[in-house]
Structure 1
């Protein structure tokens, strides 16, 4: 089995991306478990709300540059490679800083539950967390583009471990409040990103030099990425980033804390199919043979056991945080586990269509699912509670899976 994975580029990089995801999720789980035991729930709710906003800002601002990296970096010469990566990082992170600052100023006026952003320190934390997240996402895709996902694994484990260690030190020293959670979240991100830029990237592409020279030459390609990959990514990732924000806006920060823990626990399932989809797309951009059935088999093999565990023992797992998290999030977790099946179907379909250049088809499917999910979430949250977000997510993904199935059957019958 191990020899097969080592020989098969798709399987090897899928496993490495998933190992990165699983390791990050496991350490992230430990991070929030430590926070839940050492800090008040109100503080955790505020911190998760700010982190949720930073995820939305980063998603909106990264311009689809990660997939552009996967598409263009394979085979690029040293000079071109340096220009592509430099332009992507500078423009993506710069736009993220501007958008996060604007969002921090606007949100308190739009939704009262975000009044904490009026504090200058909270606004600064939002900007820093958003920029760090964008840089991290783009750097991950550089490694994926080179089918060198071992670098992504090492980087993300160091990042997640640094967060846990920093939080442990701060709470042991007697510090408390949402600021501690945010500080422990962002400082390791800045440190690991700096190390990646200074050490890891030069090893990945010897002779590469990052800088501002030639960025203007990349604007045309970035515009193409914005019209293609970025719109697809926004529609695909929008609901996952916006759901915690909607929960906060409709139900408050404390309710979002309960939602966020259940969502984070289920995310180990939702991260599998995107990981395989990214590896699948990278294989095809490197002109390597990659079959959709093989990718689906990898997803099924990795998703099945943890999905069964979460469905049967989810209440006990959430109870590790506190009895309150289990009581409030147990049903939601079960709903999210069920949604992992249609989510995998739609993620692989989008990766397949993207590799064929069917960008409009990808966008239409993702927009349909996002519209259903976000609309139903907004309408149902006040009356149903946090479970509404899970039901809406399941509904959107199920409709998308039906569309994929109908299209597949129609093509076979044509």
Structure 2
């Protein structure tokens, strides 16, 4: 975050530096000065979204460090795989409706009815997807068959529903240009850490219980925030408006699933191929690398919101990419020099097993930023062919190479797979963004 902090210090020397850097090194409009930085919704919401995701990632990191100390490594590995499965189910069940919230909420005449209708549809779809997941669990992930036992099934189902609703609430707040309230809601994820100290003696069930109680509190606070914005004043639903936006939702749906697939399927792939202990090592590396991946994700989320408000797209894309790279470079260097020490907070074994994996994931974030900016351009342009091509390419390369390299190289193989996928697709994305046809 060092690069970001430069904007907060006044001085003619600093101003001359930014003018030189932006015009001679990057080209185009310079980054804003300190007075205008937080007046620009692109930067302001980007910062709040980054802080939001950063807090989530930090709390994940601390939570799983604590879990390793109060629960067995095998149970931690299984729990992280279950959390990933719940994320996958939630993503499938949204049907791309979170993109419709971002795209159409600013123009909606009945924001409460619109959001309530989309949440109701999402919950109905979640029931169907959950049933299919549990019915096919033996084929999908035999290691998770314990979820069919009632003491694990109920908290798993509750976790899926609560995370789904909280996600839609957060999307609604960001689409309303109130990413600050989304930050406040997700800051409550801290509560699962002290809760685990209370429930940790229950083992795997205790992890689920801590997560469920935390997400329940978050959901209730989210309702309060939406009420203050005039969105959750009653249970009225506007299925007509939801139906009119469903075509757009479904058009983005496939891309959304492919975007989520690497994050949600890799833990399941690792636990099935390498075992629960190796999955715990993977999750430790990923929980740190996620600090870097959140940067482009947060910035392009804000970029998408601004695109929905019809800001000039090419200039917004340039500003977004410059902003992302200015933050990522020092963070990558921090991962190189301090990553092994961060992994030691889990255990010395985690540092030995996952440091090289962490480096590959960290380096990939630079290429990932290029991919995400180009994807968002295609999303605003409604270019569904390239939009889905980008997501399919990253997912197919990551999972295909990952399955092969995991068996040949061990855990580090998934790092090489992700790195190669990002390099290849970012090269294509960068080439397309330099083409005039992209902006015509």
Offset of residue 350 of structure 1: 0.6
TM-score normalized with structure 2 length: 0.87
Match of 2:216 among 190, 212, 224: 190
Q: CA 1:394 to 1:210, structure 2 compared with 1: closer, same or farther past 3 Å?
A: farther
Residue equivalent to 1:231:
254
Q: Establish whether residue 14 from structure 1 lines up as the match of residue 62 from structure 2.
A: no
Mapped to 1, the partners of 2:158 and 2:366 lie a distance apart of: 35
1:344 lines up with 2:369 in the alignment:
yes
Give the drift of 1:123: 2.1
**For the Cα contact (< 8 Å) 2:364–2:423, is it kept in 1?**
yes
| Counterpart residue number, 2:105 | 73
* Alignment pair present for 1:279 and 2:284: no
Q: Does 1:269 align with 2:269?
A: no
Q: Is the 8 A contact 1:101 1:127 kept in 2?
A: no
Contact 2:374 2:433 in 1 (8 A): no
Q: What is the CA deviation profile of residues 374-405 of structure 1, one whole-angstrom value per residue up to 9, with x for unaligned ones?
A: 11112222222221211111111111111112
Q: Match of 2:428? A: 403
Q: Say if 1:222 and 1:343 are closer, same or farther in 2 by CA, change over 3 A.
A: same
* CA separation of 1:220 and 1:65: change in aligned 2, threshold 3 A: same
| 1:99 counterpart residue number | 129
CA distance in 1, matches of 2:298, 2:422: 17
- Shift of the alpha carbon at 1:195? 2.5
Match of 1:52 in 2: 84
Q: Tell me the SS of whatever aligns to 2:123.
A: helix
CA contact (8 A) 2:374 2:430 kept: no
- Secondary structure at the aligned position of 2:177 is classed as coil
Q: Which ranges of structure 2 fall in alignment gaps of 5 or more residues?
A: 1-6, 8-33
Match of 2:335 in 1: 310
Deviation (angstroms), 1:120: 1.9
Q: Which residue of 2 aligns with 1:168?
A: 197
Which residue among 61, 65, 70 is the counterpart of 1:38? Answer: 70
1:365 to 359, 381, 390: 390
User: For the structure 1 residues 74 and 251, does the alpha-carbon distance in structure 2 shift closer, same or farther, using more than 3 Å as the test?
Assistant: same
Deviation at 1:210, TM superposition (A): 4.1
Q: Secondary structure at the match of 1:74?
A: helix
Residue 218 (structure 1) shift: 2.1
Specify whether residues 210 and 233 from structure 1 end up closer, same or farther in structure 2 by C-alpha distance, changes over 3 A only: farther
Structure 2 partner of 1:335: 360
CA distance 1:105–1:121, shift in 2 (3 Å): farther
The within-5 A match list for 1:292-307 is: 292-307=317-332
Distance in 2 between residues matched to 1:101 and 1:44, nearest whole Å: 25
Looking at structure 2, the residues matched to 250 and 166 of structure 1 have their Cα atoms a distance apart, in angstroms, of 32
Aligned length: 405
For 1:110 and 1:27, the matched residues in 2 are separated by: 29
Tell me the residue number matched to 1:180: 206
2:108 match: secondary structure: coil
Per-residue CA deviation, residues 162-214 of structure 1 (Å, 9 max, x unaligned), is 1112112334xxx24111111111211012112312x11011226x5342543
Query: Normalising by structure 1, what TM-score?
Result: 0.93
Q: Would you say the 8 A contact 2:84–2:263 is kept in 1? A: no
Q: Write out per-residue CA displacement over residues 254-312 of structure 1, whole angstroms, 9 at most, x where no aligned residue.
A: 22111111111111111110110010110121233462111112212222222211122
CA distance in 1, matches of 2:321, 2:213: 37
Aligned to 1:257: 280
Choose 284-293 or 397-406, whichever is displaced more.
284-293
1:384 aligned onto 2:413: no
